[in-house]
Structure formats: structure tokens, C-alpha cells
């Protein structure tokens, strides 16, 4: 018998919790029993963020940190005149006063908060489910801010009944689709954190054993991103930026996005990424016993503080990656996200990270690639086909009306990518490529491979044209552009090397000499003089197939790599980058555009905070997205066909 599944493990944990029901008081006892180091360290971290954002303490010694916003779409994806906000409540003891209450005050100017919304306080606990790890006991305050004025700026602050109050933050409510002007959104994936949950007063080897066991200071690179190679051109010994995840989050703000997409692998509280039961008994040696995963829930505290300067002001919308299968929580390991984040819950039942929303003339759809993956099969197939059926119905609905011009899908494992580590996932490709091709999806934002890659447009598995930097693409005819933006801050992966024993050549490709460029990069200002890999055009890559499947080193079920020759890999950048997407809606019959700019974090040698390394424009005729028999039709009837 193999390892237990995420759901079996979560069920066992629930039984444990029911037998030893955790109250706010017993959470206090549990945390203080671990020498209090972790609770105090987390309180210091949260307290610093709280004070820096203008928070004022109350009587209970509780701070409010990691505020983040999310859109609240209705069942059809249309945005309601509302915003969800969640923040964390942290005390120096790890517990909250029994009768603490919370509200969110909203108004149209700082200090003028005329509306008050009740907030809920939720306790997220994992009891003793993490062998050798910290007690999981965290509190979140959650509220829905309704009755907003579309398109208007709203200010808000969170207030507790003991007098604790946050500083002011503000957001712009989504405009009514019909009057939306140009806007920008940003996207990336595989972000992680640069600070481990720790007591900052001591280095890890000075900590008492009990503190270490309870999540004190772990070695660098276990529960944070700090395992960059010295040769890394950005984050390495001679690089320009040791903390690319933090830097990129800040740089996104300079683009003034109206929201941000994160295509999975959010904070790496589960750094093993296999979704197996949590066990930290060997975490000091950077590994987990066979059949288990590392897990530290307090990485979330660090992450939510890290993104707060952006996420308290603009919604962040998350898809789930393999590192987001958190096995101490139910619902396929996503139960924690339902509390910590605000998943819109308008997708298929039992799939909390699958949802959709529309903003102006663009439809956005979050897909759970864990459910489709041939590579890593821990969560594969849990919806029994419900997810794909729902995705198809959502795409079909959008392509049956004229309100949505562009469709953007975001998900984690790549349908099309050429990285050495994960390349393309055949399960994801086989499920999504036919739907995306048929329903004319415009852009797919992916992650999982820790680098940046952009494909030429693809329809039904084939490249339709070459689209170098500066191109204008007509997705309705040309097909889908797939971007891997797994360049969000985690240590980078290499592209596939030249064919050899470690990277067998695709069928029919004869190796013809040494690879000219070390990692096959190609972006604005950097093109190989000689052919990369072994031929003029072939990128040596592979695609995961579901069978034959075998147990990986950790005990997770993995598929098989099948070499493939690739002609669609257009842009390849092997460091840190995000995309900023400028959308210009238009009157029906006029051209509407979506310009995708790739911005690299601190490209060595430029001396600039970021550098644009690629730009393409997707163009459509507004109001003409309706499909009839698989073809773009001219609808509504009053718009003349051209």
C-alpha cells in the first residue's frame, strides 16, 4: 500500500482535533509549551508590519497584519460591488482574548469611515499533526465590504473591540464593465518568502532544541527562498538583488495594477511540494522522511506581511500549485487557503481554487493544475472530471456573449514550457489545449518552472506562426500564447541542456555539437549567435505522461518524461521577472488590445530596477468573441462583418 493521500491524512487530523478540541486557551497552552519562542517571534514580525502600516495597539496585546483584498465575483464571474478583506491576528502568547470582536470601517476618505461591516474571527489549527513541527494555531479576521460605489476609491481600517486599529488603506472598486477604461494587471508565480519564521534575536544553532522543534530558526532555504546558487545572475554572490520575490512585489506597485494574479506555489509553507503528510523531524537536514512533506504554517505569516504593501490596496487572486497542497488541511489540502485567502467559490463544488471573474472586457479563470497533472499525481483526478466540465461551460458561456473579448486562464503546471526541471505537463496539456483552442482563449499564465518563457501562439498542439518580441498577435485566428511566469522569486531552474544521458534527444533529432548557449536563453537584447541546443530550431524538451507512473524519492506518484522536439519556445529568460498587462477595451467593432510587457528584476549590468525584456500585443475586434460552430462569428447582428 502506498502513502496515504492528502484527504486521508486531513481526515486523520480532523479526528485528532475532535478528540482534543482546540480552544483559544488550549492553543495558548500548546504554544507556550514550546518555550514561546515561535509565538513571540511571529508577534515581533507582525508587530513591526502593523506599526509600519500605521496600526495603533489596544489593550489586548494583539496586532493585525497581512491585510489582503480579493474580488467577490458572482456565479457568472461578474464582479459584485464588494471586496473581501482578510488579515491575521497575532498576539505575543499565541492566543486571543475570549470575547474579542472585529469590524471593518469603510469610507470615502481617510478618517471618514461612515460604514461598518462585522468581521468574523476564524481559528486555523492543525493540532499535533506536524510531526516534529510547530503547533499550528493562527487567527484570521475576515469581512465582506459590500455596497461599494463602482469605480470609486474606498478607504478602510480594521478595528478590534479592545481598541486595536490598523492604519488606513484604500482600494478602487471595480468599475462597471460598460464604462471601464484602460487598465493594467500584473502576474507571476512561484513567489515564496525571504524570511523564515524565526526568532530574529538568535541564529538557528543558538536556539534551544525545543524552540527549533517548534519552528524557531531553520537553516536557510528550508522554509524560505534563501538557497540561491552563488552563480545566480541576480540573487547569487555577485548578483544585484538577494531578495527577488520582495523586489518584484514592490516593482509591481510601480505599474499601478488594478489586481495581481499568482499562478500557484504561493508561499512554500510546504517546501517539499508533494502534498504528502507533514513531518518536520528531519527539517534541519532540509528533507522529510520518505512518504512525507515538510510543512510550517507560519511561513504564511511571513508571506502575508511581505505582500501586504500591495495586497492591502489591490486584490490578489491566487491559483494553487503543488506547493499549495497542504496536507494538514482538508479539501485536498486547500482547506487552509479558504481561511487565509478569499477564494471566490464560484467554481465546481469541492474545488475551492477553481473560479472565474470578469474585469471590463476580460474573463479570468483560475484552474487547479494539481487535479490535471501527469507529473505529480497526489491530487490528480480528485474532481472526477468536474473541473474540466466546469471550465468548458465557463469558456462556452463567455464565447456565447459579447461582453468578454479576451480570456485569460491562470494555472500552475505548464501545458507548454521547456524547463529542465518540469517542462510540459501532458495531463494539463491534454485537458486544456483542446478547450483553449476551441474557445479561443487568448493568454495562459503558468508557473511551476522557475524561469520565464513565452511561446509562439499555439492551436490544437501546433505553433501557428512565429511571434518575436514586438509582435501583434490575433488570438482569434492565431491561437493561445502560453507564458510561464514561474520567475517570481524562488531559486531558478535551468532550461533543458543539450541532448545527453541526462536529457535524451527527442525522436528523430540527431545531436550535432555542443550547445552554444549555456542555458538556451533568448530575450530582447540577448540572442544566441549560434543555434542553441543542437539544431537551428529545435529546443530539446520533454512532456510528462501519466503512465507508466512510479513512486518518486519522497514517495509521491510521478508520471514519465517523454522527450519532445519543440519549435514554439519564443522567449526564454532564466532569472526573475513578472508580467504587466495593459488592456484597452474598445467600442464594439473597434480594435481592443492587451499588451503584455515582461519586466525583469534587476537584469545584471543595467543599473535599473527593472528592464523590459519582451513585449507583445494581443488584438481582437471588440464585441465579436461569439463562436458559432467553432468559428468566430459577427455578433451582435448590428455590427457589420469585415
Q: How far is the CB of 423 from Fe ion (least distance, A)?
A: 12
80/422 with CB nearer Fe ion? 422
Cell of 631: 468559428
Q: State the Cα–Cα distance between residues 290 and 38, nearest whole angstrom.
A: 27
Q: How far is the CB of 260 from Fe ion (least distance, A)?
A: 17
265/614 with CB nearer Fe ion? 265
326/478 with CB nearer Fe ion? 326
198/322 with CB nearer Fe ion? 322
Beta-carbon contacts of residue 116 (< 8 Å; ≥ 6 apart): 103, 104, 105, 106
| Nearest residue to 35 via CA among 216, 205, 204, 300 | 216
247/451 with CB nearer Fe ion? 451
Q: State the Cα–Cα distance between residues 264 and 482, nearest whole angstrom.
A: 15
Q: State the Cα–Cα distance between residues 520 and 518, nearest whole angstrom.
A: 6
50/411 with CB nearer Fe ion? 411
Distances from the Cα of 345 to the Cα of 296, 329, 357, angstroms: 26, 17, 11
88/320 with CB nearer Fe ion? 320
Report residue 250 CA to chain centroid gap: 16
169/444 with CB nearer Fe ion? 444
Q: How far is the CB of 202 from Fe ion (least distance, A)?
A: 29
**Kind and range of the H or E element at 20?**
none
**Interacting residue ranges for Fe ion, rule: CB under 5 A:** 190, 265, 321-322, 448
322/378 with CB nearer Fe ion? 322
Q: How far is the CB of 485 from Fe ion (least distance, A)?
A: 11
Q: State the Cα–Cα distance between residues 278 and 293, nearest whole angstrom.
A: 5
Beta-carbon contacts of residue 391 (< 8 Å; ≥ 6 apart): 354, 365, 367, 432, 435
Q: How far is the CB of 509 from Fe ion (least distance, A)?
A: 28
463 DSSP β-pair partners: 458
Farthest-apart Cα atoms in the chain, separation: 76
Q: State the Cα–Cα distance between residues 622 and 615, nearest whole angstrom.
A: 21
Q: Identify the three-state secondary structure at position 485.
A: strand
166/296 with CB nearer Fe ion? 296
Distances from the Cα of 37 to the Cα of 30, 32, 326, 409, 555, angstroms: 12, 8, 24, 42, 33
Report residue 578 CA to chain centroid gap: 12
Alpha-helical runs (H) found in 162-273? 209-213, 244-254
Query: Under a CB-based contact definition with an 8 Å cutoff, are residues 633 and 627 in contact?
Result: yes
Q: How far is the CB of 412 from Fe ion (least distance, A)?
A: 6
Q: State the Cα–Cα distance between residues 316 and 69, nearest whole angstrom.
A: 6
275/348 with CB nearer Fe ion? 275
Q: State the Cα–Cα distance between residues 456 and 415, nearest whole angstrom.
A: 13
Q: State the Cα–Cα distance between residues 260 and 262, nearest whole angstrom.
A: 7
Query: Under a CB-based contact definition with an 8 Å cutoff, are residues 321 and 190 in contact?
Result: yes
Amino acid at each position: 500500500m502506498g502513502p496515504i493521500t492528502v484527504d486521508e491524512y486531513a481526515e486523520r487530523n480532523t479526528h485528532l482535533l475532535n478528540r482534543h478540541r482546540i480552544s483559544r486557551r488550549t492553543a495558548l497552552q500548546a504554544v507556550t509549551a514550546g518555550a514561546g519562542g515561535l509565538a513571540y517571534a511571529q508577534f515581533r514580525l507582525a508587530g513591526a508590519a502593523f506599526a509600519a502600516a500605521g496600526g495603533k495597539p489596544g489593550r489586548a496585546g494583539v496586532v493585525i497584519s497581512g491585510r489582503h483584498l480579493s474580488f467577490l465575483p458572482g456565479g457568472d464571474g461578474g464582479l459584485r460591488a464588494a471586496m473581501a478583506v482578510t488579515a491575521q491576528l497575532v498576539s505575543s502568547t499565541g492566543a486571543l482574548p475570549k470575547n474579542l470582536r472585529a469590524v471593518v470601517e469603510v469610507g470615502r476618505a481617510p478618517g471618514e469611515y461612515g460604514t461598518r461591516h462585522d468581521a468574523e474571527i476564524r481559528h486555523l489549527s492543525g493540532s499535533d499533526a506536524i510531526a516534529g513541527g510547530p503547533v499550528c494555531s493562527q487567527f484570521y479576521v475576515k469581512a465582506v465590504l459590500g455596497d461599494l460605489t463602482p469605480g470609486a476609491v474606498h478607504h478602510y481600517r480594521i478595528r478590534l473591540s479592545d481598541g486595536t486599529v490598523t492604519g488606513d488603506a484604500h482600494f478602487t472598486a471595480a468599475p462597471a464593465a460598460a464604462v471601464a477604461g484602460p487598465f493594467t494587471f500584473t502576474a507571476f508565480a512561484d513567489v515564496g518568502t525571504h524570511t523564515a519564521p524565526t526568532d530574529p534575536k538568535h541564529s538557528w544553532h543558538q536556539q534551544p532544541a525545543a524552540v527549533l522543534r517548534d519552528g524557531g530558526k531553520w537553516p536557510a532555504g528550508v522554509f524560505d527562498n534563501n538557497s540561491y546558487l552563488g552563480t545566480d545572475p541576480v540573487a547569487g554572490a555577485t548578483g544585484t538583488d538577494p531578495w527577488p520575490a520582495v523586489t518584484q512585489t514592490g516593482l509591481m506597485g510601480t505599474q499601478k495594477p488594478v489586481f495581481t494574479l499568482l499562478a500557484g506555489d504561493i508561499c512554500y509553507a510546504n517546501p517539499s511540494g508533494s502534498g504528502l503528510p507533514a513531518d518536520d523531524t528531519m527539517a534541519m537536514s532540509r528533507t522529510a522522511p520518505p512518504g512525507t512533506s515538510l510543512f510550517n504554517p507560519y511561513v504564511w505569516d511571513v508571506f502575508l506581511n511581505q505582500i501586504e504593501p500591495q495586497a492591502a490596496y489591490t486584490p490578489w487572486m491566487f491559483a494553487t500549485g503543488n506547493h499549495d497542497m497542504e496536507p494538514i488541511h482538508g479539501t485536498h489540502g486547500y482547506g487552509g487557503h479558504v481561511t487565509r485567502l478569499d477564494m471566490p467559490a464560484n467554481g465546481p463544488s469541492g474545488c475551492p481554487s477553481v473560479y472565474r471573474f470578469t474585469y471590463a472586457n476580460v474573463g479570468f479563470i483560475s484552474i487547479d493544475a494539481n487535479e490535471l497533472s501527469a507529473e505529480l499525481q497526489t491530487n490528480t483526478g480528485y474532481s472526477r472530471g468536474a473541473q474540466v466540465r466546469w471550465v468548458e461551460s465557463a469558456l462556452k458561456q463567455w464565447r456565447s456573449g459579447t461582453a468578454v473579448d479576451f480570456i485569460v486562464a491562470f494555472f500552475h503546471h505548464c501545458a507548454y514550457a521547456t524547463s529542465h526541471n518540469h517542462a510540459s505537463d501532458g495531463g494539463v496539456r491534454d485537458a486544456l489545449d483542446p478547450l483553449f483552442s476551441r474557445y479561443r482563449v487568448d493568454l495562459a499564465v503558468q508557473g511551476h518552472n522557475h524561469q520565464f518563457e513565452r511561446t509562439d501562439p499555439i492551436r490544437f498542439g501546433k505553433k501557428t506562426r512565429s511571434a518575436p518580441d514586438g509582435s501583434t498577435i490575433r488570438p482569434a485566428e492565431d491561437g493561445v500564447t502560453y507564458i510561464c511566469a514561474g520567475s517570481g522569486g524562488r531559486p531558478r531552474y535551468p532550461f533543458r541542456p543539450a541532448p545527453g544521458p541526462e536529457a535524451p534527444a527527442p525522436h528523430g533529432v540527431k545531436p550535432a555539437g555542443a550547445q552554444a548557449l549555456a542555458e538556451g536563453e533568448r530575450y530582447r537584447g540577448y540572442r544566441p549567435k549560434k543555434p542553441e541546443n543542437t539544431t537551428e530550431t529545435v529546443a530539446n524538451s520533454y512532456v510528462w505522461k501519466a503512465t507508466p507512473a512510479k513512486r518518486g524519492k519522497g514517495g509521491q506518484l510521478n508520471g514519465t518524461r517523454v522527450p519532445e522536439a519543440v519549435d514554439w519556445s519564443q522567449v526564454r529568460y532564466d532569472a526573475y521577472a513578472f508580467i504587466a498587462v495593459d488592456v484597452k477595451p474598445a467600442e464594439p467593432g473597434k480594435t481592443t488590445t492587451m499588451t503584455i510587457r515582461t519586466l525583469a528584476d534587476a537584469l545584471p549590468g543595467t543599473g535599473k530596477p527593472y528592464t523590459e525584456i519582451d513585449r507583445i500585443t494581443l488584438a481582437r475586434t471588440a464585441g465579436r468573441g461569439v463562436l458559432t460552430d467553432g468559428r468566430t462569428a459577427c455578433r451582435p447582428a448590428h455590427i457589420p462583418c469585415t
